[in-house]
Structure 1
């Protein structure tokens, strides 16, 4: 809908949908608005002395976790994804394996467990649209039958 107006949770202003970024896993707009996100990123950059935000800052600001709590979760899971039981396969820009993602409820912010990138993406999609999992299962079964021919 082109005339859709959305309330930014940070600045409290009602803005056009175009003032918000899209989320890859949902049709809902990413909060807060583009302008508030830009101001926050700039402030974080300045506060860090011009360096990128650290892993510890992300854990604290986004999930309310300390690095020690993350490390304890990682140890409790033996360094493996809580869903598929595999280590992270995504690699960062330096070629090193990335850290497991902190999975959390997007409505409440409650931290659940650590997931690999693949399982985290699937969880996002299913959380936003619970019926999607059943539809994917039906799709795969339909194509398995077609392939058995």
Structure 2
């Protein structure tokens, strides 16, 4: 038994946290009181618990975090839709990059802060890249619908599952319209690797939530990361630009000083307002897609060194 001087109660030793540096082997206060004392000390020494955690995790103060948020106009710098509530930092060098919403911050983590995976994910959603080309060669389409699903079975000579299929068969059929054999054929068509990153085992069937068309089989990280970023190629491209350092820049302002710029065309975040970001975002996404389309056309379609009938058909259908 031990006496806690804060709550003034005698409690069993199990009610106290262990402390090998003390003579008794436990802390002087019981566990609930010890938690309260630590919280009070953080406020006393650091001003607030939030300030303590910001300095501990990111090396910035509460005032510096609020200044970053104000410079962004209060909005997540990637999706431009949700309020920014999380400090994002480079896990290698520890540098703070900006303030993000919960989904964008976690989406970057699922993609392991890899720019190339984000760029490939955006191409995947827009029906570009090696996976889309492979599907186009097999099915004359960049997604799997209708006859394409049955063709997966014909390609690999597997029989269609009977009525008494496995639990996985029923789950796949209910969610994606695929049988178990068709899903296995899709994975085999991809060489047993994720359709985006190409270096992990695919664990999930990915499909468009609007058209219900199956796009491919993905690993957990790519599938979760795309979901957190809304399956939106515009947001994913902004996330890639954010990581490579080209999204957020500083521009001079009249009278001296600088402000942040992270949209195309450039707008002052302080002048957008809470209800104006959707319009700004739509224009930004439209311009970034136009730049990507122009680069794709120059590289793969007409006059580029890698002229490809698939790319020409893709650009032609988009027009």
> Normalising by structure 2, what TM-score?
0.24
Select the structure that is richer in strand.
1
* Higher Cα radius of gyration: 2
TM-score, normalised via structure 1 length: 0.48
